[in-house]
Amino acid sequence: MFHSMRAGQIIGVLVLTLFVFGVVMVASAGLRPLPRTQNSIEVDPDTGSLYQAESTGAEASASGRSSNLAGRQVMDTVLGKEGRMAMIAVLALAIGTLIPVERLAALKGLAAPAPWLLTLMVTLLLMTLIIGRETYGAVRWLDIGGVSFQPSEIAKWGLPAVIAWHCVRHAEGMKRFLTGVTPPLLLGGFVCVLIAKEDLGTAVLVMTVCVLMLLVAGARFGHLAAIAPVGLLGFVGFVLMSPERQRRITAFLDPFEYAREDAYQLIQSMGAIAEGGFGGRGLGHSLQKFDYLPFDHTDFIFAIICEELGFFGATLLIGIFIGILLAGLAIVTGRSSPAGSDEELSETAMPPFSRLFGFGILCTFGLQAVINIAVVTGLAPTKGIALPLVSQGGTGWILTAFSLGLLISMDRRAWAVSRRAGLVSEGDDGNSPKPGLLAVGEV
């Protein structure tokens, strides 16, 4: 099937597959058995609410309603919060495919979106430090107008756009230290400092993406290496400022020594992975989700996937991530369309901003998945980084889907340029294999 699809279409299909995977696994992680009593699930004909009717005889009495399901609407049970959030994220994906990325990047002056986006990110991060809501000991959430979200998610996906905008505008000076590399590094460092106070893992992720983007934009490796000790000292400083972070690193280095304390979550995660074996226990049959593994539906959902679906399910999931990354790489390198492979039309089909911004999106998506899986499998200290589009999420799901939708928009632009250049007929949707192009089956 993938052999006849464009790279953008592959991303769309795989993202939808991840959403299905995520909704099913988060729901499975939340399954709990009903109490061992004679009961039945009934629908109140007046309100449409579900209730658990307990009885000692053949008929259930409305007076025997259990609080376990009290007040839950039928839609909440059939299509829970995760399903609704996935539908919103799919809408965000669709909107992203329609955004004219290059037109927005070409705007100048007050109409340029990058400075406004940067202002929004910094403002929200500062507001989080002042009036943010504390959850599990960290102030990462901001409540505005009844909507709760993490500003660090906006910074994580927005900063690559700002960095790409700067690098393209100063392309000729990127090999200079003061005028090329220093401004985006200072900018990224300032944003990451605001994030790192409460979320060091995300700050490291964002800064790593910024550095990789600068290298791709033409910055000298020696310049970045010279500044690396400053970043390392900053990381060490944030670790020393937090006893909890120090304990996490200590537990990571010797988890079995602290199996009942700070390494408890890691030990339970590795136990879940080991118990899954090759084929898994079966969907919904996890044991670790019964309050043994904390955050089993968020940061450690991969452990539940391994336990229930085994090595086969974990490999399938990782394969989906790799498929998205390879399809995205085909887009940003220009190999996904005839115009992108043409020397004269390649820059028109995939302009420098789209290439660099698309690379930043792929790095953010891929590194987030790698870090999460590394944490769950014991290859990295515990961090609060979710598995993209799989772990239970709200802001993360929506912004991730929207960003991947921008990649699809870039691919649509490249095919539109191909049609205008006569490389593809008007009636051709681009699904037919073209000589010299990256075959989608090879993605």
Which region among 64-73, 225-234, 429-438 has the lowest average model confidence (pLDDT)?
Answer: 64-73
Taking residues 377-402, report their average pLDDT. 88
Which region among 212-221, 349-358, 416-425 has the lowest average model confidence (pLDDT)?
Answer: 416-425
Taking residues 124-139, report their average pLDDT. 83
Q: Which pLDDT value is given to residue 430?
A: 52
**Whether residue 362 has pLDDT greater than 70:** yes
Q: Provide the total of helices (H) and of strands (E) in the chain, helices listed first.
A: 15, 7
Contact 7, 413 (CB under 8 A): no
Q: Select from 63, 61, 37, 41 the least CA-distant residue to 51.
A: 41
pLDDT tens by residue, 307-331:
999 999 999 999 999 999 999 999 9
Contact 171, 99 (CB under 8 A): no
Taking residues 228-233, report their average pLDDT. 91
**Whether residue 13 has pLDDT greater than 70:** yes
Region of 237 please: left (phi>0), alpha (psi -120 to 50) or beta.
alpha
Q: Which pLDDT value is given to residue 367?
A: 96
The chain-wide mean pLDDT, for the chain, equals 82
pLDDT tens by residue, 286-297:
888 777 787 777
Give 217's pLDDT tier (boundaries 50, 70, 90).
very high
pLDDT tens by residue, 28-52:
777 665 555 455 555 556 655 545 5
Cα dist. 211→185, 238, 254 in Å?
8, 19, 31
Pairing label, strands 133-135, 49-54: unpaired
Alpha carbons within 13 A on the beta-carbon side of 297 = 18
Q: Which pLDDT value is given to residue 429?
A: 53
**What is the DSSP track for 164-192?**
HHHHHHTGGGTTSIIIIIHHHHHHHHHHH
70 Cβ neighbours under 8 A, 6+ residues apart? 49, 51, 52
Q: Which pLDDT value is given to residue 56?
A: 45
pLDDT tens by residue, 412-434:
998 888 888 877 766 555 554 44
Q: Which two structure tokens, joined as six digits, stand for 413?
A: 């632009």
Q: Select from 282, 199, 281, 202 the least CA-distant residue to 242.
A: 199
Give 60's pLDDT tier (boundaries 50, 70, 90).
very low
Which region among 134-143, 169-178, 319-328 has the lowest average model confidence (pLDDT)?
Answer: 134-143
Taking residues 55-76, report their average pLDDT. 43
229 Cβ neighbours under 8 A, 6+ residues apart? none
For residues 209 and 443, the model is more confident at 209
Q: Which pLDDT value is given to residue 435?
A: 42
Q: Which two structure tokens, joined as six digits, stand for 374?
A: 């590394």
Give 207's pLDDT tier (boundaries 50, 70, 90).
very high
Taking residues 89-114, report their average pLDDT. 92
Q: For the chain, how far is it from start to end, CA to CA, in angstroms?
A: 12
Q: Which pLDDT value is given to residue 321?
A: 96
Q: Which pLDDT value is given to residue 125?
A: 92
Q: Which pLDDT value is given to residue 290?
A: 79
For residues 320 and 271, the model is more confident at 320
What percent of the chain is predicted at pLDDT more than 90?
A: 37
Report angle CA 286, 292, 298 to the nearest 5 degrees. 75
Taking residues 143-163, report their average pLDDT. 89
